[in-house]
Amino acid sequence: MEAKMKKLCITFLLLVVVLLHVSSVKAEAEAVGGRALSRDDFPPGFIFGAGTSAYQVEGAAAEDGRKPSIWDPFTHAGKSFDGSNGDIAADQYHKYKAGSFTFEDVKLMHEIGLDAYRFSIAWPRLIPDGRGAVNPKGLEYYNNLIDELLSYGIQPHVTIYHFDLPLILYEEYGGILSPRFIEDFTAYADMCFREFGDRVKHWVTVNEPNIEPIGGYDSGILPPERCSEPFGSHCTVGNSTTEPYIVAHHLLLAHASAVSLYREKYQAKQGGSIGITLLGWWYEPYSQSSDDKAAAKRMVDFHIGWLMDPLVYGDYPAVMRENVGSRLPSFSKEESKRLRGSFDFIGFNHYIVFYVQADLSTLNLKERDYYADAAVKLSLLNGNSVKKQDILRMKKTPEMASTPWALRKMLEHLKVNYRNPPVVIHENGAGSLVDPKTIANEKPDYFRVEFLQDYLESVLLSIRNGSNTQGYFIWSLLDVFEFQFGCAVRFGLVGVNLNNENTTRYPRYSSHWYSNFLRGSGLRRADASIITPHKLGFGRRELSSKAKFT
């Protein structure tokens, strides 16, 4: 009898556990998919925003004292995806209201209801020679932009370095390849903190230091076009086997130096926070074989761990130490100490997932680059393999499937393996090929609305599973010059006629959806196609600098 009662009790307890689990899953589904998604579902203080970066949005490339970055000669030589450049871009530099310092774009942000705007400062505009004298016109521009944002209650989230290295520093000593870069970057960051830190409370030191070394110094398809055969065939200088690791190393040390300076000299007085933003691709095994599973884990270590391990633990992942060997630079004890914990938050830019096959044969090569060191082959969802020179263009290609589950896996990985750091999703968005001749009359971007809802739901579920995610920024506020795609692919909530010197703005359907969401409307998936533009305050019409909201 006693044994029977025990069995019944155990059965009852198991039933309770199952019912609680089912109830939890049901509640989670109802909270996100079964009813309207609302910003009220997110924790208090969660930040919603959108972003751009300096070279991609500002224009005015040769005006008011700005000097070239490494991107200017690259694009002027017609080497971007579609031959376009950032000379005009979205021309945010000139988007003032006539007779005052009122930004048209800031009004757009306010109408949409953004909490924050993520932008970067152009080093070649602020300190045109890379070091030394500050450009007063550049200083004026960023002061005006910051003040205008604050006047509308919009938080400025500022990136100090977003790929646009002053050309003069590259020509003088090789730029990021030299440890001299660390000193010049720290002095530049010091100037930013001093001039803007009384109003800027959210700083990012470096954007995507885990991809700039690959594009610029391994495959060499992006500035400064350094590579070596057989890993890149078109470069005249470079060494793909060593330089990517040197560049990432110097970017990490520059970040740590700037954070140390900020904490010692400014943070207590200014009350801001500081971090770094990484690219966060996700990697899944191509098959369920043990080799492919190990390869996917290895690729996550090479991509995310490359930066996160030093930032959290003070050194590179063991698998990188083993595979790269003496080509991977070492940290001194002091450098390791300075790196550990050198962030108040970590930003991640997330778009896609790759499927990983093991290719251990590459470890037998006499010379290896980054992907050979990782010993992997990458494929897309459809099984098509990806050539190395095309990997960077997979970053935000419109053909990639929406995979919000991959974002959840990445956030879970950070929670479990890196002590659950504060995370801000600094870029996430959907692109599409756009015909500039018909941009004013393009079809509503329902696909972008669905994409954004999918990923916002994914972020919310991650938070409910314990992730310390604190913000979400859409890429991008406006159509901009894309580093991977030029002007051919657009990601903006607001369309821009990038081929028109007037750079006319066209708020897209997705901007109305985001506005309704940010202003408290609960939006079910079925609502995506019935949002009415008049709720936002601007309709489907072009916006000039004289346009007023009704």
Angular region, 367: left φ>0, alpha ψ -120 to 50, beta rest: beta
Concerning whether 427 is annotated as a catalytic residue, the answer is yes
Cα–Cα distances in angstroms (integers) from residue 78 to residues 58, 66, 86, 311, in the given order? 19, 21, 11, 37
- Radius of gyration in angstroms for the set of CA atoms belonging to the chain, rounded to a whole number: 24
pLDDT at residue 394, rounded to an integer: 53
How far apart CA 191 and CA 538 sit, in angstroms, is 38
Angular region, 163: left φ>0, alpha ψ -120 to 50, beta rest: left
Question: Which contacts qualify for 459-466: CB closer than 8 Å, 24 or more apart?
Answer: 459/407, 459/411, 459/425, 460/31, 460/32, 460/37, 460/41, 460/42, 461/28, 461/32, 461/408, 462/407, 462/408, 462/411, 462/412, 463/42, 463/43, 464/28, 464/31, 465/408, 465/412, 465/415, 466/415, 466/420
Cα–Cα distances in angstroms (integers) from residue 363 to residues 295, 322, 369, 430, 495, in the given order? 13, 11, 10, 36, 46
The sign of the torsion formed by the CA atoms of 213, 374, 401, 464 equals negative
Indicate if the pLDDT at residue 382 is higher than 70: no
Q: What is the DSSP letter of 301?
A: I
- For the record, the structure tokens of 386 come out as 């990806």
Exactly one of 58, 104, 208, 335 is catalytic; name it: 208
pLDDT at residue 383, rounded to an integer: 63
How do strand 376-379 and strand 353-358 relate by DSSP bridges?
Answer: antiparallel
pLDDT at residue 253, rounded to an integer: 99
pLDDT bin (cut points 50, 70, 90) of residue 447 is very high
Interval 239-250 mean pLDDT: 99
Omega within 30 of 0 (cis) for the link into 336: no
pLDDT bin (cut points 50, 70, 90) of residue 14 is very low
Ordered by start, the domain boundaries in the chain are 46-426
Q: What is the pLDDT of residues 91-145, one digit of tens each?
A: 999 985 433 444 599 999 999 999 999 999 999 999 999 999 999 999 999 999 9
How far apart CA 127 and CA 115 sit, in angstroms, is 29
pLDDT bin (cut points 50, 70, 90) of residue 439 is confident
pLDDT at residue 7, rounded to an integer: 39
Indicate if the pLDDT at residue 36 is higher than 70: yes
pLDDT at residue 57, rounded to an integer: 97
pLDDT bin (cut points 50, 70, 90) of residue 436 is confident
- For the record, the structure tokens of 268 come out as 């207590």
* Cβ atoms 235, 227 nearer than 8 A: yes
Specify the residue for token string 């263009």: 393
Specify the residue for token string 């995806």: 81
How far apart CA 74 and CA 223 sit, in angstroms, is 6
Q: What is the number of other CB atoms lying within 10 angstroms of the CB of residue 348?
A: 23
Which residues face 117 on adjacent strands?
50, 156
Question: Which contacts qualify for 83-86: CB closer than 8 Å, 24 or more apart?
Answer: 83/486, 84/481, 84/486, 84/487, 84/488, 84/498, 85/61, 85/481, 85/486, 86/55, 86/56, 86/58, 86/59, 86/61, 86/481
pLDDT at residue 392, rounded to an integer: 61
How far apart CA 166 and CA 138 sit, in angstroms, is 14
Q: What is the pLDDT of residues 399-417, one digit of tens each?
A: 457 999 999 999 999 999 9
How far apart CA 255 and CA 340 sit, in angstroms, is 11
pLDDT bin (cut points 50, 70, 90) of residue 264 is very high
Q: What is the pLDDT of residues 480-497, one digit of tens each?
A: 999 999 999 999 999 999
pLDDT bin (cut points 50, 70, 90) of residue 434 is confident
Indicate if the pLDDT at residue 541 is higher than 80: no
Neighbouring residues of 325: CB distance < 8 A, sequence distance ≥ 6: none
Q: Which of 506, 484, 461, 529 is nearest to 27 (CA)?
A: 461
- Residue 50: helix, strand or coil by DSSP? strand
Interval 355-378 mean pLDDT: 98
Indicate if the pLDDT at residue 536 is higher than 60: no
Q: What is the pLDDT of residues 164-193, one digit of tens each?
A: 999 999 999 999 999 999 999 999 999 999
Concerning whether 208 is annotated as a catalytic residue, the answer is yes
> What's the N-to-C CA distance of the chain in angstroms?
78
pLDDT bin (cut points 50, 70, 90) of residue 384 is low
How far apart CA 539 and CA 127 sit, in angstroms, is 40
Share of the chain above pLDDT 70, in %: 83
Exactly one of 212, 243, 284, 427 is catalytic; name it: 427
Which residues face 25 on adjacent strands?
none
Tell which CATH classification among 1.10.10.10, 3.90.850.10, 3.20.20.80, 3.40.50.300 matches the domain 46-426: 3.20.20.80
Alpha helices, H only, 438-540? 446-464, 509-518
Neighbouring residues of 344: CB distance < 8 A, sequence distance ≥ 6: 273, 274, 275, 422
**Between 387 and 37, residue with greater pLDDT:** 37
* Cβ atoms 376, 357 nearer than 8 A: yes
Q: What is the pLDDT of residues 132-150, one digit of tens each?
A: 999 999 999 999 999 999 9
Amino acid letter for position 345 = F
pLDDT bin (cut points 50, 70, 90) of residue 525 is low
